[in-house]
Amino acid sequence: MSGDSDRSLASIFLFKGLSEDALRKIEERCRWRDYAPQETIIDFKDDSEDVYFITKGVARVVNYSVSGREVAFDDLRTGSLFGELAAIDGEPRSANVVAIAPSTVATMNASTFRSMLEEHPPVAIVLMKRLAQMVRLSVERIMDLSTLGANNRVHAELLRLAKSNIRDDGSAVISPVPIHSELASRVSTTRETVARVLSDLTRKGLVKKSGNSLILLDTERLQDMVEQFRGD
Amino acid sequence: MSGDSDRSLASIFLFKGLSEDALRKIEERCRWRDYAPQETIIDFKDDSEDVYFITKGVARVVNYSVSGREVAFDDLRTGSLFGELAAIDGEPRSANVVAIAPSTVATMNASTFRSMLEEHPPVAIVLMKRLAQMVRLSVERIMDLSTLGANNRVHAELLRLAKSNIRDDGSAVISPVPIHSELASRVSTTRETVARVLSDLTRKGLVKKSGNSLILLDTERLQDMVEQFRGD
């Protein structure tokens, strides 16, 4: 069961800056549900157009190819939203979403979501920024897939994960240590390639494990390695 | 020189549905300029955050990798807008834009653009739909790059270009005939691969040229070929 504090949208990035009163009214337009680990939140074959807000827990988004092969995935934590593309454009979903920790999720139907965006233009602007970032990130991944080999894609992904934690001395911490299969999925390669690249980097003194963190010891050199290959 | 009729935003998809009066006011907030073929409209090294509307002509968007290699491009025609990502999120640009026909372009600065979106929520919703479509298209290309070989990426791109023109008998027309180097750029392969794939398809009776059009004779079979490989 979730407590009352889980039934608040205050943690959702989209609603930062709204008054408490406006937030309460939006909360009243949501349905709330708890999910156990491994429980499906969205099945991509559903034709629902709801938007989901994670107010507690972790959910995993998994994209599938036409034939059902798992292609890429991403983990979303407290404060995230998902399902917004279908709510905006009415097109079918392309991913499954499964809870991977006990989670509390608020759901809003598509037409309520669109009315809410029209009533609160600053919220619409925050959502547009998020969509713009999604476009930029995708374009970056397309460039990586087009121009880099698998090894360098792993390097580029490590830098992406470390981006917000680079220290003055050029080192950076990724915490927790990324799981090999997750890294592999993000850059369209195999677990074995990820394991090999990480042991190469460890041997070269560019990466070391410390407790539950992975430390990039020289992000500048890693960046050089990626850029050199992007030019090939 | 452009005539008065080129100095109207009525053709821009973003503004469909606005009253004439609202449109006039938005037009008054733009600067207008004509470009000759090959003239640069945006240099990606500029730090401007303006948004551009093409009211006449054609502009080519070219993405570059860090080292300056041309990675992909797209042609935008009358009614399109570009530069909206930087206007929304304030991050640097990632592409050059060059006129490839005599063009008339209206420019709006970023803060005017954001105010305009707040004043006209339906326009904001249309822009969000466009961004959602850009995300979906990018995710599809990432899936193609991750799961398909170059040959099948060419097949998938032909189907994408034909999508809105599929007839009841399963054939489809792409007009004008796509230029080999443009197709190659879109799917991250070489001109030679595109030429080879097209002559294979012609030999198999799946594609034929007719005047300035390319006819896909059996889109269903082409789709089967792509999906079969997506499963590998």
Q: Which one of B127, B138, B230 has the shortest CB-CB distance to A142?
A: B138
A231 with B66: Cβ contact below 8 A: yes
List chain B residues with CB under 8 Å of A68: 231
From A194's Cα to the closest Cα of chain B, the distance in A is 16
In chain B, % of residues over pLDDT 70: 92
List chain B residues with CB under 8 Å of A138: 135, 138-139, 141-142
pLDDT score for B203: 92
pLDDT score for B144: 78
Query: Sorting pLDDT into bands at 50, 70 and 90, what band is B181?
Result: confident
pLDDT score for B62: 85
Helices (H) and strands (E) in chain B, counts: 8, 11
Phi, psi of B227, deg, nearest 5: -70, -35
Burial A95-104 (b: 16+ CB within 10 A, else e): bbbbbbeebb
Phi, psi of A70, deg, nearest 5: -75, 125
Q: What is the pLDDT along chain A (232 residues), one digit of tens a residue?
A: 445 566 899 999 999 989 999 999 999 999 999 999 999 999 887 888 999 999 999 999 887 765 556 666 788 999 999 999 999 999 888 788 999 999 999 999 999 999 999 999 999 999 999 999 999 888 888 877 777 788 888 998 999 889 888 899 999 999 989 988 888 877 878 888 899 999 999 999 999 999 999 999 999 999 888 877 654 3
Task: For residues B109 and B31, give the distance between their C-alpha atoms in angstroms, rounded to a whole number.
Answer: 9
Task: For residues B48 and B91, give the distance between their C-alpha atoms in angstroms, rounded to a whole number.
Answer: 10
Rounded to 5, what percent of chain A is helix, strand, coil? 45, 25, 30
Burial B25-57 (b: 16+ CB within 10 A, else e): ebbeebeeeebeeeeebbebeeeebbbbbbbbb
Look up residue A100 and give its two tokens: 């991977």
pLDDT score for B232: 39
Cα-to-chain-centroid distance, residue A122: 23
Q: Which one of B65, B89, B128 has the shortest CB-CB distance to A147?
A: B65
pLDDT score for B21: 95
Most confident residue range from A60-64, B9-13, B219-223: B9-13
B129 with A94: Cβ contact below 8 A: no
Task: For residues A140 and B141, give the distance between their C-alpha atoms in angstroms, rounded to a whole number.
Answer: 12
pLDDT score for B69: 61
Query: Sorting pLDDT into bands at 50, 70 and 90, what band is B67?
Result: low
A121 with B124: Cβ contact below 8 A: yes
pLDDT score for A65: 61
* Cβ–Cβ < 8 Å for B41, B53: no
List chain B residues with CB under 8 Å of A146: 71-72, 145, 188
Task: For residues B198 and B20, give the distance between their C-alpha atoms in angstroms, rounded to a whole number.
Answer: 47
User: A30 exposed, middle or buried (CB, 10 Å; 0-12, 13-18, 19+)?
Assistant: buried
B128 with A117: Cβ contact below 8 A: yes
Question: What is residue A220's DSSP assignment?
Answer: H
* Cβ–Cβ < 8 Å for B206, A43: no
ipTM of the complex: 0.74
| Domain annotation for chain B: domains and CATH numbers | 4-142 (2.60.120.10), 148-230 (1.10.10.10)
Compute the average pLDDT of residues B5-11: 84
List chain A residues with CB under 8 Å of B84: 132
What average pLDDT does chain B have? Answer: 88
Q: Which one of A114, A146, A228 has the shortest CB-CB distance to B145?
A: A146
Task: For residues B210 and B208, give the distance between their C-alpha atoms in angstroms, rounded to a whole number.
Answer: 6
pLDDT score for A113: 96
Out of B71-80, B113-122, B216-225, least confident range: B71-80
pLDDT score for A72: 65
A88 with B129: Cβ contact below 8 A: yes
Out of A14-23, A138-147, B99-108, B116-125, least confident range: A138-147
